Chains A and B, each alone.
Chain A
Amino acid sequence: MNAPFQPDVISLDLLKVGTKARVATVDWAVLDEGEACRLRHFGFDEGVTVEPLHLGPFGRDPIAIRVGRMTVAIRRRHAGAIHVLPIR
C-alpha cells in the first residue's frame, strides 16, 4: 500500500470498543474476492464512520462493528485490513 503516511491511522482491530473512527483506507489486496465483496456490501468504504461495539468472548474474536446504521460481525483478521482514523 502506498497510502499517504498518517500518524494516527490504526487498524480497526486495534480500535477500542466504543470509539468512533472514520475509515481511511481498506487494504483490499490482502482479502480474497468474496471477503472484499462482502465488506463492500456491508458499506466498509473510505470515509464511513465505524465503531466497535462488542468483542467475542474467546480471544476477543470476532468483533461486532457498527457501520453506518448497520451492525456487522467480522473476524479480527479481516478487521486488520481496514485502517481507520479515530474521531476525537
Chain B
Amino acid sequence: MNPHPLVAVAGSPNAGKSALFNALTGARQKVGNYPGVTVERHSGKLTLADGRPVELVDLPGAYSLDPASPDEAVTRDVLLGRQKGERHPDALVIVVDASNLDNHLRFCLQLIELGLPTIVALNMVDLAKRDGLELDPKTLERELGVPVIETVAVRRRGITELQAALDDMLSAPFCGVHEHVKSDLIHLQRRAREIATAAVISETPVRRWTHRLDSVLLHPALGPVILAVIMFVMFQAVFAWSETPKSWIEDGVAALSNGVTGALPPGLLRSMIVDGAIAGVGAVITFLPQILILFFFILLLEGTGYMVRAAFLMDRLMHGVGLSGRAFIPLLSSFACAVPGIMATRTIDDPKDRLTTILVAPLMTCSARLPVYTLIIAAFIPNTRVAWGVGLQGLVMFGLYITGITGALLAAYVLRRGVLKGSGSGFMMELPKYQWPLLKDVVIGILTRAQIFLKRAGTIILGTTIVLWALASVPQAGPGQKQSDVSIAGKIGRGIETVVKPIGFNRDISMALLPAMAAREVAVSAIATVYSIDSADDQGGAMKLQDRLQHRWSLATALAFLAWFVFAPQCISTIAVTRRETNGWKWPLFMVSYLFVLAYAFAGLTYWTAVALGL
C-alpha cells in the first residue's frame, strides 16, 4: 500500500470539479504553478480512515486527452505521468455533470481506459432533476465498470459517500497500471451517447431555467443594459465597501510605524523598517480591500455562470481589436486595480489573447491614479462650467479615462498584429447552467487569491520598497546638506531629470518618479516630501500642496504629468503579478518598456502642444 497516495480530480469544464475538490479538502489548499507553464496547480490533503494522508490534486478541466489549450496539456501530461514536478497519480476521481452525460462521458471513458483505480462522481444531480432528468447510477456503474457516486458538490451532498468509496479503493491492493488502450474520439463519443441514453430513467421535457434566464440576460437589447447595471453595482461596491477596511489598514500601518519608532533607537535600522518596509508595503496593502472585493465579484460572476454570458455579450466589440469577449471582465476590473484584473485573465483559454489582455490591463485607469489626477486637476484646471452640468475638471478627468481606454484598445490592436500575431482559438465556450455558488467556495477562492497576491507579490514588493528606501537614505546627509541632494535616489532623480526635461518635467517630478514605482499614489506623498524637506528655506511651510504646485509648475508641465500617468507602469504589484502570471521576466519587462515609451511620448506630445498653444 502506498503510504502517500496521490489522487487526481479530473473532469470536463463546468462539471463542478473545483467545488467537489473544495468539498473534499476544505480550506487546506496549496496553490502553485506547474514548472515551465502558466498553469496553476491546486492541491489539498485528505486523511483516510487508517490515518494515511492522501494528496489530492485538482487538474485543469479538459474535454479530452487531446489538448486544445495549455491547461488541457497539463491535465493530459499529469494523467500519463509525463508532467514535470508531478508524481503519476495513484487513483482518479472523475467528475461528470449529470445533466450533460452525452458529452462528459467521452472524457470519462477515455480516463477509465487509463486503467487507474477510478471513482466517478455523478455531480449536480440536483440541477439534472430541476431540468426533469432522472438517472440511474447503477446502470452507469455497470456500463462504466467503476463505482459511481451521486454528488451535489456545491451543497456538500454525497461527499461522505465519495470519501468512503475513496477509502475502500485506496485500501484495496492494486496490481499496477495495465497497458493504455486508446480508442478514437468518435468511437468514445458514440459509446458515451449510448451509455448516457441507457442511464436515463425518465425525462420530463421542461422549459429549462437556464434557457429562460438567458432569454432575458442574453437579450440583444436588455442583455447589455443588465450587464452595465451589474458592472455599475460592482464598481460602487468596490469603492464604497473598501472605504472602512482601507482606513483600518491605514490606522494599523500608522500604529505599527509609531510602535516601531518608539521601540527602536533612531538610526538606519529604524529608518529602514519604518520609512522603507512599513511605509512602502503599507502603501501597497491599502489596496487589498479593493482587490478582495473585486475578487468577490469576479468569483461570484464566475460561480453563477454569468461571467461567460458577459463575455458572450461583449465578444463582438472586443473581437474588433483582436481580443476575445473573455477579456472584458479582466479589463473592466482593471479600472479598480490591474492586479485582480491580470489574475482574472486565467479564464482566457487562448495564450495570445490572454497575454495581450495582461499587457494592456495596466492602461485601464486604476484607483491608485485617482489621488494623482485629483491633486493635479484641482490645482491647475479651473472649476468652470463648460455646459449645463458639465464642469471642466470633470471633463478633464473623463478625458484621462478615455485616453487610457483608447490607448489599451490601440495597444491590443498593434500587439495582435505585431509581437502577438496569429489568430487565436477564437471564441468557443460552453455556456454552463446558472447556479448559486456556495459562499464557502467563494471565500476559499478569495483567500487563495489573497494568499497568492500577498506571498508572491509581497516578497517582490517588500524587496523593492527596501531598495527604494536604501536609494533614498544612502549616503546620509551631513549637516547643512539636503538628504534629497546627497542620496543615490537624488542622483538618480537628477539623472531622470535630464531625460524628462524635454517633456517639461521639473526636478520635483523627477524626484517623485522613482518612489512612485511602489504605487502611483505615492507620487503625491513623494512630491509633498520634496516640499516639506525644502520648506525650511522657502518660508511657506503651511502652504497647501495644491497652492505650491500652482506656484512652481506651469500648466503645460501639469498636463504633461497627467498624460505620463495615463501610461506609465508605475506599480510594482502589477509588475510582480505579471511576472507570476506569465512565468518569467520577459513579458513584464516588455510591458514596462512599451508603457514607459508610450508615457514619454504622450507626455512630450502634451507638453509641446501646450507650449505651442501658449499655456
Chain B residues with Cβ below 8 Å from A43 are: 102-103, 189
Q: Are A68 and B102 also in contact (CB < 8 A) when A53-B211, A54-B218, A73-B308 are?
A: yes
Contact between chains at B99 and A57 (CB < 8 Å): no
Chain A contact residues, CB within 8 Å of chain B: 32, 34-35, 37-43, 45, 53-62, 64, 68-75, 77-78
Chain A residues with Cβ below 8 Å from B63 are: 38, 41-42
Q: Are A69 and B99 also in contact (CB < 8 A) when A54-B215, A56-B316, A62-B312 are?
A: yes
Contact between chains at B99 and A34 (CB < 8 Å): no
Contact between chains at B99 and A38 (CB < 8 Å): no
Q: Give the number of residues in B that approach A within 8 Å (Cβ atoms).
A: 40
Contact between chains at A56 and B312 (CB < 8 Å): yes
**Additional pairs, 14, CB under 8 Å, beyond known A38-B428, A40-B185:** A38-B425, A45-B189, A54-B218, A56-B315, A57-B224, A57-B316, A69-B101, A70-B103, A73-B312, A73-B315, A73-B428, A73-B429, A75-B315, A75-B427
B437: CB under 8 A from chain A?
A: no
Q: Are A32 and B423 also in contact (CB < 8 A) when A69-B99, A75-B319 are?
A: yes
With the chains together, A25 CA to B149 CA distance in Å?
37
Q: Are A72 and B429 also in contact (CB < 8 A) when A43-B189, A57-B313 are?
A: yes
Contact between chains at A78 and B426 (CB < 8 Å): yes
With the chains together, A40 CA to B107 CA distance in Å?
12
Contact between chains at B426 and A75 (CB < 8 Å): yes
Q: Which of B265-323 contact A (CB under 8 A)?
A: 308, 311-313, 315-317, 319
Could you pull out 18 A-B pairs where Cβ atoms are within 8 angstroms? A35-B426, A37-B66, A37-B68, A40-B185, A41-B103, A42-B428, A45-B189, A54-B218, A57-B220, A57-B224, A64-B312, A68-B103, A68-B193, A69-B99, A69-B102, A73-B308, A73-B430, A75-B427
With the chains together, A34 CA to B351 CA distance in Å?
12
Chain A residues with Cβ below 8 Å from B99 are: 69
Contact between chains at A71 and B428 (CB < 8 Å): no
Q: Are A72 and B426 also in contact (CB < 8 A) when A41-B64, A43-B103, A57-B223 are?
A: no
Q: Are A59 and B102 also in contact (CB < 8 A) when A54-B214, A70-B430, A71-B431 are?
A: no
> Which of A38, A45, A59, A72 has a CB less than 8 Å from the CB of B68?
A38
Contact between chains at B214 and A53 (CB < 8 Å): yes
Q: How far is the CB of B198 from chain A (nearest CB, A)?
A: 15
Q: How far is the CB of B192 from chain A (nearest CB, A)?
A: 9
Q: How far is the CB of A40 from chain B (nearest CB, A)?
A: 6
Contact between chains at A58 and B317 (CB < 8 Å): yes
B210: CB under 8 A from chain A?
A: yes
B contact face: mostly helix, strand, loop, or mixed: helix
Chain B contact residues, CB within 8 Å of chain A: 63-64, 66, 68-69, 99-103, 185-186, 189, 193, 210-211, 214-215, 218, 220-221, 223-224, 308, 311-313, 315-317, 319, 325, 423, 425-431
Contact between chains at B68 and A62 (CB < 8 Å): no
With the chains together, A61 CA to B221 CA distance in Å?
14
With the chains together, A78 CA to B324 CA distance in Å?
14
Q: How far is the CB of A24 from chain B (nearest CB, A)?
A: 16
Chain A residues with Cβ below 8 Å from B66 are: 37
Counting from the closest, the 8 A-B pairs by CB-CB distance are A41-B63, A58-B316, A54-B218, A71-B431, A37-B68, A57-B220, A34-B425, A68-B102
With the chains together, A53 CA to B68 CA distance in Å?
25
> Which of B210, B316, B325 has a CB less than 8 Å from the CB of A71?
B210
Chain A residues with Cβ below 8 Å from B210 are: 71
Chain A residues with Cβ below 8 Å from B186 are: 45
Q: How far is the CB of B315 from chain A (nearest CB, A)?
A: 5
Chain B residues with Cβ below 8 Å from A74 are: 426-428
Contact between chains at A62 and B315 (CB < 8 Å): yes
Chain A residues with Cβ below 8 Å from B68 are: 34, 37-38, 41
Q: How far is the CB of A53 from chain B (nearest CB, A)?
A: 7
> Which of A32, A38, A40, A73 has a CB less than 8 Å from the CB of B431?
A73
Q: How far is the CB of A9 from chain B (nearest CB, A)?
A: 21
- CB nearest to B316 among chain A residues: A58
With the chains together, A50 CA to B102 CA distance in Å?
14
With the chains together, A59 CA to B312 CA distance in Å?
12
Chain A residues with Cβ below 8 Å from B427 are: 62, 73-75
Q: How far is the CB of A23 from chain B (nearest CB, A)?
A: 13
Interface centre among A43, A54, A75, by most chain B C-beta atoms within 10 angstroms, is A54
Chain B residues with Cβ below 8 Å from A58 are: 316-317
Interface centre among A32, A34, A61, A74, by most chain B C-beta atoms within 10 angstroms, is A34
Chain A residues with Cβ below 8 Å from B64 are: 41
With the chains together, A32 CA to B422 CA distance in Å?
12
With the chains together, A55 CA to B223 CA distance in Å?
11
